[in-house]
Structure 1
């Protein structure tokens, strides 16, 4: 076989390295490489050029995974921070709302009887006890609670929030006629009413007690009550 030039071999080296040349060509290249150092060097260059990019690809892939993991961890931290911030904000908002309701809307403070005047106590023909109540401290009244203990003491308790509001006409619960239906309360609660108080068990004004004789309700009071 005639000697093949290095130029021909160099052209065939990529095919030889990729193992896509014929068996005869492969033998020819290997025979030439057995004595030609220059072509061996060229083959090594081809090998290095291929291996380096593969190595770079693996390194880049690893770097990309690291960056991806960092990004994922960062997103998790941001999500946790967002959820935590939302929970804290919601808690603070709840506290503010509850504080507002507790101070301005929640009727938990009873009105002291020293600013309450009860007069014109009377009784209607059907047994209802009528009375005129006036709270004269200048503040509005939000609600009246009705309750009775096991001994038959019935309490009419005026309630306000902690932060009071000045009373303005037309007055509703602050002053005017009201009534208590004794029979209805006894049927509803299953206990015989013995006394009726305006206030609380510790601070009260007697309106009526069993056996008390009361005058007949006036037309003015009945008209005011719309009865």
Structure 2
């Protein structure tokens, strides 16, 4: 093989340095470098040009670590943000659910007595007190809460949710007859007997019956209505 000229070898040096030239070209360059100082110097210059200073290598290493840290923080942040989003969603759904039930289903509002009419108070043959109650504002009544104080005053408090619903037939508690069994009512653990019966709260009520009151006998129709076998 004839010796290659310096121009050809210098053209091949970058490929040789990067180890991307063919086997024949590599051998040719190496044979030429044995005797050519000029091409050796050119090869050394390539090595110097492509070798980064330690300071730059350290900076790149630090930059690389910063990028890795940023990437790791970003990934953790995404997981954290997702978890926070899930928690917030659960809290919001819970608030909506409980808020809806509180407004529409939980009976928290007392019905004022200015929309209540108590009439036809009488006594059944078995001693029960019977009466007719009508809520006159046109809204449904959901529940009656019972309470007795230490003086024997018994309160039947009508309660509703905050968001009221229209009353529809059959009207249930909002319009109809009801009875109260004073003799068998055992709601006071200290043994106090019932001395007065009120429809409403201790602050806002209608007297239905009190001890010593002479009630008329219930009609046959009402008697049959509450005749239980």
The answer to whether the superposition gives a TM-score over 0.5 is yes
TM value normalised by structure 2: 0.68
Q: Where do 5+ consecutive residues of structure 1 fail to align?
A: 1-32
1:139 aligns with 2:139: yes
167-176 vs 109-118, greater mean Cα deviation: 109-118
- In structure 2, stretches of 5+ residues that fail to align are 1-33
> Contact between 1:125 and 1:216, CA under 8 Å: does it hold in 2?
yes
Say if 1:186 and 1:193, in contact at 8 Å, map to a contact too: no
Shift of 1:84: 2.2
**How high is the TM-score relative to the length of structure 1?**
0.68
Aligned partner of residue 212 in structure 1, secondary structure: coil
Q: In 1, distance between residues paired with 2:166 and 2:83? A: 43
**CA–CA separation in structure 1 for the residues paired with 2:198 and 2:154:** 6
C-alpha contact (below 8 Å) 2:116/2:136 kept by paired residues: yes
Give the number of equivalent residue pairs: 193
For the residue of structure 1 that corresponds to 2:217, the secondary structure is: coil
**2: CA distance, partners of 1:114 / 1:43:** 107
Q: How do residues 79-98 of structure 1 correspond to structure 2 at under 5 angstroms?
A: 79-98=79-98
Give the match for residue 221 of structure 1: 222
1:194 is aligned to 2:171: no
Separation in 2, partners of 1:62, 1:113? 79
1:11-41 per-residue CA deviation (whole Å, 9 max, x = no partner) reads xxxxxxxxxxxxxxxxxxxxxx9xx968987
Q: Give the corresponding residue for 1:9.
A: none
Alignment of 1:25-36 (within 5 A): none
Between 59-68 and 211-220, report the one with greater CA deviation: 59-68
Contact 2:148 2:188 in 1 (8 A): no
